[in-house]
Structures are given as structure tokens and as C-alpha cells.
Amino acid sequence: MPLTSVTAYESLIDRLSITEKDKGKSILIINSGGGVGSVACQLAKLLGLKVIGTASRPESMKFSKESGAHIVLNHTENLVEQLQNNKISEVDFILVNYDPYNYWDTLMMLIKPQGKICLVVDSSGLVDLKQLKAKSITLVSEMMFTRIVYNTDDKYRHTEILEEVSKMLDNGKLKSTLTKVITPINAVNIREAHRLIEEKKSIGKIVISGFK
């Protein structure tokens, strides 16, 4: 949970600057069935946001809803049309846990004027930043190791976040996104875990556990 929780927490709180004042606003979480996405769904719901996730398979859609998404869209189909079918035309925040390249024009259409977008994954191609200007969109990026790698003045923030996440896990406000354990730790099982991830069909997090 530490890596995904810190990434999701920093994305919502530190990068998108979401506070209790934003209660009732909407957030679109691209790839809500993954490790970061499923934690972000939980945190966003706790913050009082209307959470809209994206997935494609029945099991990942179900997992997204169990993680707190109020609506789950199929990201292999037109997101704009699906949102409109849910009587939503634009969203206040977007968290992108997948390559934003193919989503870029869609993101520009769906984000509200003066809205905020956070990218967790690098773009595989060049995108047109000029599209941000008309709506005065804030674009931010999240990398959980930034504070550590660059020894920033606020690097202690990781301790605060981990302590808060630990409390939330202990009191049941946040639940583990662990969905599969492979044991023992060996070359065969490491290859198997990678195969599952490379197929892009995994849900939540996979753990390899136990030396023999």
C-alpha cells in the first residue's frame, strides 16, 4: 500500500489541491481499477467528491465500484458520450493513471473551465498544451519520489502521509487493494507476475511473497 497510497494521496491533496471545500465536485479517474486508481477512488470518495472511474472488463468495473467509484465508464468506448448519458458534460478534476496521449483531446473536452488535471503516467507522444489556455486549465504531474530524490524542504511530508494512511487502514476508512498473492519468491513466479501485469488485465496489486 505505501507506494500507491502516497501517489494517490499526493495526486489528490498536494497536486490537485483538493480540500473539504471541494465536496460535491466531480473527479474523473482514468484507470480506476489499477493500484493507484483504486486507492484514489477511495480517497476521493472520502473527500466527498463524485467519483467517476474508467475500466473495461466486468471485474475491473466491479472492483472500481467497490473502491468508491459512483460511476464507471468503459475506456474502450467514447467517454464524452458515456458521461453525457449520465447527464454529466464536464468534470472539475481529472486524474490520469494511464498514457494520456490517446486521451488528450477527450480530456480537453471533459475538463471544466479552470479545472485541474494531474498526470501520473508519462505521455507516449507530444500533446498540444495550447489547448489548456482557453479554459485556463491547471496541469500538474505526480511522481512520489520527487521529494526524496531532490531532497526538498518538505520531504517530511511522506512521513505525514504514511502515518495518515496507516490510521485510515487501521480504522477501516481505507482498504487494501491487494487482490492476488503469488508464493514463493522465485524466478518462475516473478515471470508470472510480470506476465499478468503486461497483459494489462490485473486488478489492484499483485504481491510475490515468501522465500523458500
Mind listing the pLDDT tens digit for each residue in 73-115? Answer: 999 999 999 999 999 999 999 999 999 999 999 999 999 999 9
Last residue of a domain, one of 105, 129, 147: 147
| Residue 97 CB contacts under 8 Å (≥ 6 apart), including other chains | 29, 30, 31, 32, 34, 36, 37, 40, 120, 121
Look up the pTM and report it: 0.92
- Which domain, by its residues, includes 204? 177-211
What's the helix, strand, coil split of the chain in %, to 5? 40, 20, 35
Q: How far apart are CA 12 and CA 141, in angstroms?
A: 11
Q: For residue 100, say if its preceding peptide bond is cis, omega within 30 degrees of 0.
A: no
Domain-located, residue 94: yes
Report the pLDDT value the prediction gives residue 163, as an integer from 0 to 100: 97
Domain-located, residue 195: yes
Higher pLDDT, 179 or 53: 53
Report the pLDDT value the prediction gives residue 30, as an integer from 0 to 100: 97
Domain-located, residue 166: no
Domain-located, residue 164: no
| E strands present in 31-134 | 50-55, 71-74, 91-96, 111-119
Q: Report the number of distinct structural domains present in the chain.
A: 2
- Say if residue 60 is in the same domain as residue 140: yes
- Say if residue 137 is in the same domain as residue 55: yes
Domain-located, residue 161: no
Query: Three-state SS for 12?
Result: helix
Q: How far apart are CA 179 and CA 181, in angstroms?
A: 7
- Say if residue 24 is in the same domain as residue 118: yes
Q: Which range has the top average pLDDT, 86-90, 178-182, 194-198?
A: 86-90
